[in-house]
């Protein structure tokens, strides 16, 4: 992968009511990133209305990205409502390596 990247900004509510739209946008960005040999950086507003469907979508996107040879990362560590959802869902296990996708962002 080259040093170039695609940046996707996900804004607004990211809940079960809107997740289909977010999924479609992520799919387009993943395809573009793969065709251009770029990493995909996802920027999430941690204070938006977020529910468990967002982390589920991101886990699926990571698997899809791996199969396509695309590196995917968050722009910054999860914070605000996003971090609270991850904690409530038990997606943070206290292991730095396993939690790094959520807690370290692209600078990791």
| 101-106 mean pLDDT | 87
The CATH homologous superfamily for domain 5-104 is: STAS domain (3.30.750.24)
The model's pLDDT over 52-88, given as tens digits with 9 standing for 90+, comes to 999 999 999 999 999 999 999 999 999 999 999 999 9
Task: Count how many Cα atoms sit within 13 Å of the Cα of residue 45 in the half-sphere of its side chain.
Answer: 10
| Mean residue pLDDT across the chain | 92
**Nearest in space to 105 (alpha carbons), one of 39, 26, 11:** 39
- What pLDDT score was predicted for residue 106? 67
Mean pLDDT of 20-43: 96
Pairing of strands 72-74, 5-10: unpaired
- List, as one string, the DSSP characters of the chain: --S-EEEEEE-S-BSTTTHHHHHHHHHHHHHHHHHHT-EEEEEE-TTS-B-THHHHHHHHHHHHHHHHT--EEESS---HHHHHHHHHTT---S-HHHHHHHHT-TT-
Farthest CA pair distance, the chain: 36
What confidence category does residue 2 fall into, taking pLDDT thresholds of 50, 70 and 90?
very low
Q: Is residue 3 pLDDT above 70, yes or no?
A: no
**In this structure, how many other beta carbons lie within 10 angstroms of the beta carbon of residue 59?**
12
């Amino acid at each position: 992968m080259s040093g170039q990247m695609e940046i996707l900004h996900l804004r607004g509510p990211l809940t079960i009511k809107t997740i289909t739209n977010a999924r479609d946008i992520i799919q387009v960005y993943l395809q573009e990133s793969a065709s251009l040999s770029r990493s995909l950086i996802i920027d999430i507003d941690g204070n938006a209305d977020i529910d468990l469907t967002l982390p589920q979508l991101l886990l699926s996107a990571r698997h899809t990205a791996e199969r396509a040879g695309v590196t995917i990362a968050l722009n910054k560590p999860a914070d605000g409502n996003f971090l609270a959802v991850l904690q409530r869902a038990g997606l943070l296990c206290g292991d730095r390596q396993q939690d790094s996708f959520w807690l370290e962002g692209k600078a990791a």
